Amino acid sequence: MSTMIFVNLPVKDLERSRKFFTELGYSFNPQFSDENAACLVISDTIFAMLLVEDFFKTFTKKRIADTDTHQEVLIALSVDSREGVDELADRALAAGGTSAGEPMEEGPMYGRSFYDLDGHHWELTWMDPAALQG
């Protein structure tokens, strides 16, 4: 079995977050979703558990980071093409997300970033496959 990753993120309004990520083209696994959590399917092995803040607090003794003033995590995802980076970032902005900075172009790498509705920072990156072959 491949190792899977489940990133747990606190959210203020679960339905609003579900709508946001659905508009980006993602789906949810209903088997791991209820009124307190939604299992965002990013790939076959990568998931984000969107947890209502009160439920999230049951997993930690620490305070939830205020994403208006603090950065708790950067979530970086690879995308299959440069155009795909732009398409996904543009959909995030159209769905209510905000830009986290200017597009990044460094040699064979291209990326854009956005904050979701709860201020979580998402990085989208594409690397020219020809550059990987060295």
For 72-131, the pLDDT digits (tens) are: 899 999 999 999 999 999 999 999 999 999 999 998 999 999 999 999 999 999 999 888
Q: State the chain's mean pLDDT as an integer.
A: 95
In this prediction, residue 51 carries a pLDDT of 98
For 12-33, the pLDDT digits (tens) are: 999 999 999 999 999 999 999 9
C-alpha dihedral sign at 107, 82, 48, 123: positive
pLDDT value at 36 more than 90: yes
Does the 5-132 domain belong in CATH 3.40.50.720? no
pLDDT value at 5 more than 90: yes
Phi, psi of 109 (to 5 degrees): -100, 145
Delimit the domains of the chain by residue range.
Answer: 5-132
* Bridge partners (DSSP) listed for residue 47: 6, 41
pTM: predicted TM-score of the whole model, two decimal places: 0.90
